Amino acid sequence: MTRAVIQALLSHWRVHRLQLATLLIGIALATGLWSAVQAVNAEARASYERANDQLAFGQYDELRNPSGMIPISRYVDLRRAGWQVAAVLEGSLQIGERRLQVLGVDMVTYPTLPAVTQVEQSATPPNPADMLTAPGRLLAAPSVQKLLRDHPHLPPVLPTDALPPDLILTDIGVAETLLNKPGQISRLIVLPNQPQSVQPLSDIAPELELTRASARIDTAQLTDSFHLNLTAFGLLSFAVGLFIVHGTVGLAFAQRRAMIRTLRALGVSMQQLVWMITIELALLALIGGLLGLVLGFFLAGALLPDVAATLRGLYSAPVDGQITLHPHWALSGLAMALAGTLLASGHALFRLSRMPLLTGAGLQAWRGATSGNRVIPLAGVFLIAGGIVISYLFDGLIFGFAMVAGILTGSALLLPVLLSLVISAFQRWTQSPVAQWVWADMRAQLPGLSLALMALLLALAANIGVGTMVSSFRLTFTGWLDQRLTSEVYVTAPDSELGQEIAQWLTPRVTAVLPIRSAELMHETGPLFLYGVIDDQTYRQKWPLIASTKDDWDRVFAGKAVLINEQLARRSNLWPGDFLTLAPDHTLTIAGVYSDYGNPTGQAIVSMAQLDQIAPGAEARRFGIRVAPDRASELAQDIRDRFELPRHAVVQQATMKAQSLAVFEKTFVVTSALNILTLGVAGFAILTSLLTLWTQRLPQIAPVWALGLTRAQLARLEVLRSVLLATLTAVLALPLGLVLAWALLAVVNVQAFGWRLPMYLFPADWIYLFALTLVAAFVAAALPALRLLRLPPADLLKVFANER
């Protein structure tokens, strides 16, 4: 008997091959998009973890000087008091267009790092004397080694794959020369196995602060918001994919009702049938899931380089650009496929198990049971309200997403009711019987199409929302770049001495030379970069302030006040009038807050005299040069020639802007890619729904045909109906998308990046999207319409003969 049941079940798929393909594609798309995002996230997180292991980050307590660097003498004081600490000097090195992190550790006392072990166990181990004494050796990934090959003034490089990309590991004695920070220590790690009794820190080095390993914010936490962002999009894609599965499974079950009735009449128990269908679904889920994994793997491979570039640019987080396949990733992907399929088919399966033995085989009866359900719209209202309430009550990225999710799903659930209301209104206005029939028929179709339309609504809203956010951001960002990059030429000298020389040479030749000098301080919210500026109209006129006070620049230049960036302001809740402590006994009033989209770290601006006081010896290697724009190119070349500087050391404004914009574009390329994929999946969902409905169309169309409408007219009406429904959905999606954009800009972005951006509207984009939707709806309806057009009239006649 089991064999017969299997054969009967399989026969359905043999007949409905397209349906089978649709189901598998639905599962594969859902699994693929979700798994791709998961793989990208996992790979990025694994990279952080690997970097942490490779560099022994986050394993030890640390000592830092909140107001700057630690001198070697302090290290020796601690050591001679019994504290087992190891010195670390960090900094960055500009190599061409790459910015490399330099990690200098005291190789003698620092816990042995995997990279060091690897190099020393290699076929040609370096002589320790070479590692520890001038010129020293640099350890770096092979890709970095290649990059450094063209820089003969650097110490020789030993390749190792046990280091994250963009990092150079070396002995602290080599690093201090490389970074031009002689005698300085960035931080001390507190080693395990401290002696029995050590003097308290306050007696030896009261200026140092001890940070527990557990209390430090690491890369993973820093980038959490970014990954949550991706996960949210992955989940959205998964949900949209499940709409396809739900629709297809529902149809398959409806079409099998007759067969199931027959099987039951032949003596197959309902329990057995439910089990076998469940197993069948599970098998389909596994096949679709496997396809999805393949899809997800390639998709992740395509997305990862951009994600890696973003994470490196935005958070200096070390991420490799290569995806590796982990078994647990495949397993969780399959589990998702299985759970998703069963979730999407659960309802259909449940109703199947409750089906009376002698119920009619009609599709309408199957559908009818769900119509008039008031629970769903109520749930929609509840979800929207819940989302809004949550965003009022709680703060944090996850709640921002909760609000977005609540509003989106709530609106999706409300969609059928809204559409039904709109259609009823239209129906009341129309007079002609055909038009009346079209509207009434459209309303009758709603339950069958509603899931696909919900998917379309979500995809469109996400598209409008994310599109608005990215475009608003781009507009703000370019405006900000124009304000921020005011100098025509930017120069970076190899050292402060040559920097001074260049500045002196330039002064009589240009409008203004603006030194760019900074020092890294520690603030309770993390590293804080302090910049010194000289009094110049450029700053007064162009610097992008989002909160200011009277005479703000006057007070800054007088050394009485400080300007801080938006990230620091929001993170520490510091605004004009508040105070910022930059060093012990050195507190300044905050005169203003400026927008800063370049990095996630805190920044502050003081007068040059203040900078020299707080961080004496801050290097003076970089300058902005104000000069007539038409002289910029010539001047840049003059500087290069005269001071023998490489090309990248003298950069013109336009190049700088282009580089910044390139980083920006990378930041959102993944979001946009996922966005487009989601829309594609939604379009596919409409197609499957229409194909599903097709089978039940005949009994409804046949009478209209019999009343005199031609097949061509009917086909046109079919297309019109699909396009109209899509149009209505798109119209409803617009406000929803704008709400989403607002939420992303005002809630999610502030949490994720520390920026609040103004919202700009882009109607041209909406029209484009609108057109795209109509085309998608048209294409989706074209196939069933074409079928109708070619349908032999005999088939339509059969409707009146056959029992349906």
Partner 1 sequence: MNVKLWLLCVCLLLPETLRAQGYAGLGGSADGFDVPQPGYQFEFPRDHGPHPSFRIEWWYLTANLKGDDGRDYGIQWTLFRSALKPMESEGWQSPQLWMGHAAVTTPDAHYFAERLSRGGIGQAGVTAQPFEAWIDEWHMRGPDPNTLSLAASGDQFEYNLTLNAKTPFVFHGDAGFSVKSTDGQASYYYAQPFYTVKGVLHLPEGDVPVTGQGWLDREWSSQPLAADQSGWDWFSLSFDDGDKLMAFRLRGARGDFTAATWINADGSATPLPDGSVSLAPLKTAHVADRDVPVLWRVTLPDQDLDVEVSALTPNAWMAARFEYWEGPVTITGSHSGRGYLEMTGY
- In the complex, the smallest distance separating the C-beta of residue 80 from partner 1, rounded to whole angstroms, is 6
Find the shortest distance in angstroms from Cβ 498 to partner 1.
24
Q: Which among 85, 179, 75 is positioned nearest to 520, based on CA atoms?
A: 179
d(CA 483, CA 519): 23
Residue the block writes with tokens 């603030």? 523
3-state class (DSSP) for residue 187:
strand
Q: What is the 3-state secondary structure (H, E, C) of 618-638?
A: CCCCEEEEECCHHHHHHHHHH
Q: Is 195 in the site for partner 1 (CB under 8 A)?
A: yes
Q: Using CA atoms, how far apart are residues 799 and 796, in angstroms rounded to an integer?
A: 5
Residue with smaller CB distance to partner 1, 137 or 666: 137
Q: What are phi and psi of 45, to 5 degrees?
A: -65, -40
Quick one: which segment of 188-196, 262-270, 479-487, 547-555 binds partner 1 (CB under 8 A)?
Answer: 188-196
Shortest reach from residue 321's CB to partner 1, in Å: 31
Phi-psi map region of 551: left, alpha, beta (phi>0 left; psi -120 to 50 alpha): left
Which residue's CB is nearer to partner 1, number 110 or number 297? 110
Among the candidate windows 93-101, 196-204, 495-503, 635-643, which touches partner 1 by CB under 8 A? Answer: 196-204
**Residues 486-525 within binding reach of partner 1 (CB under 8 A):** none
Rounded CA separation 701/414 (Å): 28
Q: How far is the CB of 120 from partner 1 (least distance, A)?
A: 5
The smaller minimum CB distance to partner 1, of residues 82 and 758, is found at: 82
Residue 711's SS3 state is helix
Site string for partner 1, 565-604 (x = CB under 8 A): ----------------------------------------
Which x/- pattern over 86-125 shows residues binding partner 1 (rule: CB under 8 A)? Answer: --------------------xxxx--x---xx--xx---x
The smaller minimum CB distance to partner 1, of residues 132 and 402, is found at 132
Alpha-carbon distances of 275 from 269, 272, 282, 349, 431, rounded to whole Å: 10, 5, 10, 10, 51
Options 196, 202, 431, 432; binder of partner 1; rule CB under 8 A: 196
**Beta carbons of 265 and 355 less than 8 angstroms apart:** no
Nearest distance from C-beta of residue 194 to partner 1, angstroms: 6
Check: CB of residue 29 under 8 Å from CB of residue 262. Answer: no
| Full 3-state SS string of 713-727 | HHHHHHHHHHHHHHH
CB of 159 to partner 1, least distance (A): 18
Of 117 and 504, nearer to partner 1 (C-beta) is 117
Positions 49 through 88 that interact with partner 1 (CB under 8 A): 72-73, 75-76, 79-82, 84
Total chain residues near partner 1 (CB under 8 A): 40
Q: First-to-last CA distance in the chain?
A: 27
Binding mask 123-162 for partner 1 (x = CB under 8 A): --x-xxx-xxxx-x--------------------------
CA separation for the pair 382, 410 (Å, rounded): 7
- What mask of x and - would describe binding to partner 1 in positions 197 to 236, judged by CB under 8 A? xx--------------------------------------
Among 142, 182, 479, 793, which residue interacts with partner 1 (rule: CB under 8 A)?
A: 182
Q: How far is CA 502 from CA 181, 363, 651, in A?
A: 21, 83, 15
Closest separation in Å from C-beta 395 to partner 1? 44
Q: Identify the CA nearest to 759 among candidates 542, 513, 468, 444.
A: 468
CB of 182 or CB of 368, closer to partner 1 = 182
> Per the structure block, which two tokens stand in for 60?
């030890």
SS3 state at 90: strand
* One residue of 180, 194, 424, 710 binding partner 1 per CB under 8 A: 194
- 152 or 195, CB closer to partner 1? 195
Binder of partner 1 out of 193, 271, 431, 432 (CB under 8 A): 193
> What are the tokens at 425?
């209104």
Shortest approach of partner 1 to residue 64 CB, angstroms? 19
Token pair, residue 182, equals 């002689």
Shortest Å, Cβ 70 to partner 1: 13
- Amino acid occupying residue 163: L
Output the CA angle 285-287-288, nearest 5 degrees: 65
72 vs 342 by CB, closer to partner 1: 72
Pick out residues in 162-181 that bind partner 1 (CB under 8 A).
171-174, 176
- Taking the alpha carbons of 257, 263, 267, 269 in that order, is the dihedral positive or negative? negative
Residue 360, token pair as written in the block? 């009619």
CB of 182 to partner 1, least distance (A): 8
Q: How far is the CB of 203 from partner 1 (least distance, A)?
A: 13
Residue 9 CA to residue 259 CA, distance in Å, equals 8
For partner 1, the closer CB: 76 or 385: 76
* Closest approach of partner 1 to the CB of residue 188, in Å: 12
Q: Where do contacts with partner 1 occur on this chain (CB under 8 A)? A: 72-73, 75-76, 79-82, 84, 106-109, 112, 116-117, 120-121, 125, 127-129, 131-134, 136, 171-174, 176, 182-183, 193-198
